[in-house]
Amino acid sequence: MQTTSKKKTRKWYERYLPFVARSTEGQLEWLVAVLKKEVLSLEEIAPYVTLLFAEKNSEELEFLVSEFGRLSDSIVCRLLNAANIYDTPKLFRFIPQPDTHHAEIALRKDVPPYEKKRLRILDRVFYAINAADQNLLEKVANKMIREGDIPEDFTENYERFLGILKDEEFLLSLYPNAGR
């Protein structure tokens, strides 16, 4: 009987706890609940996605990796849609088996016009997708280019990124210990 009242009190307390004061588990639960209920727009959820990935230790990161494997695909897609371009590479690393739909959402993100290091931000997204599956980036980029529904300068940025990958591959062949 005491445990029941203790749990009830805890739930009541957590209900009104600010997002930043919650544990990583509580933050993820709150985000999933908000995404399921669709009470906030994706733009309103974006800061919470940023806070979810801010300053996590290795245990919390392991927890997020395991929990992302349990999330439904629709929730993962909504999280990707809600995340800004800066959080997209972080979020993409937590998706256990990203597919073409996930990669397409990530590649369609716009870099803010005030960003001075635009190419670096785009490279982070390209690297995140490429790290998940090397063929995935190529497959999705080619599909987007073929359909013609691509963000501004996408083709040039993608070709530049492929050049970077070839350069890295060449340098690793010359200096095999440099990649460690």
Is the full-model pTM beyond 0.85?
no
Environment class of residue 95 by beta-carbon count within 10 Å: exposed (0-12), middle (13-18) or buried (19+)? Answer: buried
The pLDDT, as a whole number, for residue 13 is 61
The pLDDT, as a whole number, for residue 21 is 74
- Calculate the CA 14 to chain-centre distance: 26
Nearest to 100 by CA among 73, 67, 65: 73
Give the residue with greater pLDDT, 63 vs 178.
63
Q: What is the pLDDT of residues 4-55, one digit of tens each?
A: 444 444 566 666 667 777 788 888 888 998 899 988 898 999 998 998 888 7
CA distance 85 to 87: 6
| Position 11, amino acid | K
The pLDDT, as a whole number, for residue 157 is 92
The pLDDT, as a whole number, for residue 12 is 62
Instruction: Decide if 126 contacts 137 (C-beta within 8 A).
Output: yes
Environment class of residue 170 by beta-carbon count within 10 Å: exposed (0-12), middle (13-18) or buried (19+)? Answer: exposed
Q: What is the pLDDT of residues 60-89, one digit of tens each?
A: 888 888 888 899 999 999 999 999 999 999
Q: What is the pLDDT of residues 88-142, one digit of tens each?
A: 999 998 998 899 999 999 999 988 889 899 999 999 999 999 999 889 999 999 9
